[in-house]
Amino acid sequence: MHTVDELISAKWVVPIVPKNTVLEAYSVAIHDGKIFDILPTKQAIKKYTSQKNTCLNDHVLMPGLINAHTHSSMVLFRGLGDALPLMDWLKEYIWPAESAILSADTVEIGSELAIAEMIRSGTTCFNDMYFYPLNTAKVALCSGIRASIGFHILNVPVQGFKNEDDYLKAAVDYYHHRPKSDLLSWAIMPHATYTNTDASLRRAAELANELELRIHSHAHETLNEIKMDMDKYGKRPLERLNEAGLLTDKTLLAHMVHLTEADISCVKAKGSSVVRCPASNMKLGSGFPNIPEAANNGITVAIGTDGAATNDNLNMFEEMHLTALVAKGKHQNPTVLSAHQVLEKATIQGAKALGLDDRIGSLEKGKEADMIAIDFNHYLTQPTYNPIPLLVYAVNCMQVSDVWVKGQQLLKQTTLQTIDIEQTVIEVKRLRDKVLLACQ
């Protein structure tokens, strides 16, 4: 008998790699935060002994979901304003609200609310872009979730930043003061081409090289953004990103709604990844993401919720559901994107986009134990013929019962283990009153 830290036995294990696999009555042995073994439960109980045995008799065990594009603490502006064009919504609601409450402390409160929602709904890793990145990193570390944290660059004078040079200086400063943890990775985030000059885009590319950071940017989200660049520079946003040296195999491009064949070829040639955010794209009337074309071109395509201000949740199960429906409806073709391909985008493809696919994104021996369990003993998932389509089309995120990151349990039988959510909500309600005053 070998001794391991924890043995988790589940009715079904969906490891994502290999494809379309459902292992029935299997166990996962965890040791030192890693997946030590995956084997039939009958063999596991003879081979392994452990202090902690978790039996999930009606559950699916699968890799944790990866939210590849979000602005976590913008959850504080969830539901603020409705049915407005993007610029009106920003001017009337978001910018006044941000100037009324944004600080290191409030970003921590917002990050905590967002991370609680993400853990509760099965997300084990998120890729974030917002102000006060080290405060979001601090909260992520306390919660035990995995995160990629970005230093964003934009030519908009807010939060004490006068211009893009201030943001660039701050990015270097954040980098040197970042907390060290293998649960955290780091990115430079030029917000978008329409909020940056060519000089700041080039400097961001240099910093990515010098500091070995990934690159994360919004791109081709709206037709208006493309028109703005064409009018001012005579170039499409992707051309400007490319000329600045920002299209690399370490680059994540969020949205990518409006693409030509040349755009897609360019992204493929550079090896950059795409992050689709269908809920946000539809709520803002930006358009329908071109998911199947990109997938068929060998481009890594991940999924993100965007911020909860434009979604209005951080629920990756809903985002997977929309990803599948939008693709099939847009192309009038039910055969595009199988349920398993959608699951891949929310797991192994997200990991690949973040450069973490050798560590997370699937349940394989030697990978880190970032896992979630979903309780299928609920009428929403009955009858269960094959759990894979139900994970995309039927599961309610509140059926997520247990969550582990690197072997640490963050959600146990639906209870958050590392966040005092009742206290967080009290603080969020206090901030709500200030936001309401600012938006009157």
CA distance 225 to 237: 8
Output 89 or 376, the one with its CB closest to Zn ion. Answer: 89
Beta carbon of residue 307, minimum distance to Zn ion (angstroms, whole number): 6
CA distance 186 to 173: 13
Output 62 or 253, the one with its CB closest to Zn ion. Answer: 253
Task: Decide: residue 366, CB within 10 A, 0-12 exposed, 13-18 middle, 19+ buried.
Answer: exposed
Output 225 or 306, the one with its CB closest to Zn ion. Answer: 306
Output 215 or 339, the one with its CB closest to Zn ion. Answer: 215
Beta carbon of residue 388, minimum distance to Zn ion (angstroms, whole number): 29
Output 28 or 80, the one with its CB closest to Zn ion. Answer: 80
Nearest partner of 296 among 337, 332, 248, 259, judged by Cα: 337
Output 308 or 405, the one with its CB closest to Zn ion. Answer: 308
Beta carbon of residue 90, minimum distance to Zn ion (angstroms, whole number): 12
Beta carbon of residue 69, minimum distance to Zn ion (angstroms, whole number): 6
- The CA distances from residue 55 to 7, 78, 294, in Å, are 8, 36, 40
Q: What is the DSSP letter of 93?
A: I
Beta carbon of residue 135, minimum distance to Zn ion (angstroms, whole number): 19
- The CA distances from residue 363 to 13, 51, 64, 366, 432, in Å, are 9, 22, 9, 9, 40
Nearest partner of 24 among 65, 58, 63, judged by Cα: 58
Contact positions vs Zn ion (CB under 5 A): 306
Strand order through the sheet with 371-375: 34-40, 23-31, 2-13, 48-63, 371-375, 400-405, 408-412, 415-416
**Residue sitting closest to Zn ion (CB):** 306
Output 306 or 344, the one with its CB closest to Zn ion. Answer: 306
Beta carbon of residue 425, minimum distance to Zn ion (angstroms, whole number): 25
Give the amino acid at 51: Q
Beta carbon of residue 361, minimum distance to Zn ion (angstroms, whole number): 22
Instruction: Report residue 59 as tokens.
Output: 């559950």
